[in-house]
Amino acid sequence: MAALPSLLLPLLLLLLFSFSADATHTPRTLHVPVLHRDAVFPPAHTADAARYTAQLASLSSTTDSDDQLRSPVISGLPFDSGEYFAIVGVGDPSTRALVVIDTGSDLIWLQCAPCRHCYRQLTPLYDPRSSTTYRQIPCASPRCRGVLRYPGCDAGTGSCVYMVVYGDGSASSGNLATDRLVFPEDTHAHNVTLGCGHDNGGLFESAAGLLGVGRGELSFPTQVAATYGRVFSYCLGDRMSRAKSSSSYLVFGRTPELPSTAFTPLRTNPRRPSLYYVDMVGFSVADERVTGFSEASLALDPATGRGGIVVDSGTAISRFARDAYVAVRDAFNSRAAAGGMRKVAHNFSVFDACYGLRRKETVRVPSIVLHFAGGADMALPPANYLVPVQGGDRRMYFCLGLQAADDGLNVLGNVQQQGFGVVFDVERERIGFAPNGCST
């Protein structure tokens, strides 16, 4: 999300020098399960602060086999966010923190006491003065001067100062430091470099901060690569599901691949080296290949930095070059009309292809398949591209959940990724997609 435009949509109701963090009580993989939002955020009419605290506390006792590490991850739907969240402990004694999982950025940061400017968060505020393992990083440290894009220095303390600004205008600034991250089953990652944010604002409402899992030196997977390797995977569960349980997950380390996993080459953009790029080669709608656009707009051009597709957990809605989006939208509209779907004349926010469905009406929804280089395909379930939106007349409409991009930055968002097992394998330079990945 760091370098990406703001795509967080409240209407949907819905994250040099090498160094590494040390880990103790180390399993072979670091496994972060995804729990349903009601496990942490019960429906509003039954929720109160005491119940939130008790439910959050109970999540830290999640158990599994000795070679896995679990910590809750949930959908941001109940507090109008299009993101997914993990719960980790920070410091010693640890403070429980709800953090955005973001493959589009690197820095791990949390709101810190004392706060000069902080937004409301649901978990307790992290106070580094209460942590025996908190250490500020000096201005002269390679972690400050060699890694931060915009390093600063606190003249009074000699400590490194960071500042990060996201594409949607959200921002955080404070001291760069190290502390431990704590996961269930008493597994700790020590000496993790993170930002202690005293001035924060933007669209991070409710979260304590951000867990950056990009490709840069400051990202969490890079910092624990000596222990788990440079590979992680996740499955982001159905954001609209009312089920009480979920088998969704976030895992750091190599795990057995699902037989259905299809891999596409991982590309590197010299102008945005921290992002996970892949090449798309086209789309199919209703089993027919979409034509009428330039495939070059979907392929990465390393010379200009344009094109390619960023796989991003911190962006909700996918966006594609305008000519490609228009071609897909028009093909979908044509097939939808043939299947009895009635397109409405007006738009809803960023969506310009929306449909009204009557009760007990039977329609045929056109299928959509995304084609990636190397033969990897994502056949999207309808829930991954038809977004429910409530209109001003209080009726529910369904919109084609894609956007046009005019800045050369194409994104595969988490709405389209939901339900797929996604493997980020930097070691083997590939990204994999497995349908029904949350069921395993």
Q: Which positions are annotated as active-site residues?
A: 102, 312
Torsion, Cα 276 417 225 299, to 10 degrees, reads -20
Closest C-alpha to 167, from 417, 409, 416, 414? 409
- The DSSP string of 159-181 is EEEEEEE-TTS-EEEEEEEEEEE
Burial (CB count <10 Å: 0-12, 13-18, 19+), residue 369:
middle
**Beta strands per DSSP E along 231-359:** 231-235, 248-252, 262-265, 277-278, 280-285, 288-289, 309-311, 318-321, 342-343, 354-356
260: left (phi over 0), alpha (psi -120 to 50) or beta: alpha
- The pair of structure tokens assigned to 415 is 């709405």
56 by DSSP, 3-state: which? helix
Q: What separation, in Å, do the N-terminal and C-terminal C-alpha atoms of the chain show? A: 28
282: left (phi over 0), alpha (psi -120 to 50) or beta: left
Pairing between β-strand 159-165 and β-strand 209-212 as defined by DSSP bridges: unpaired
d(C-alpha 248, C-alpha 362), whole Å: 31
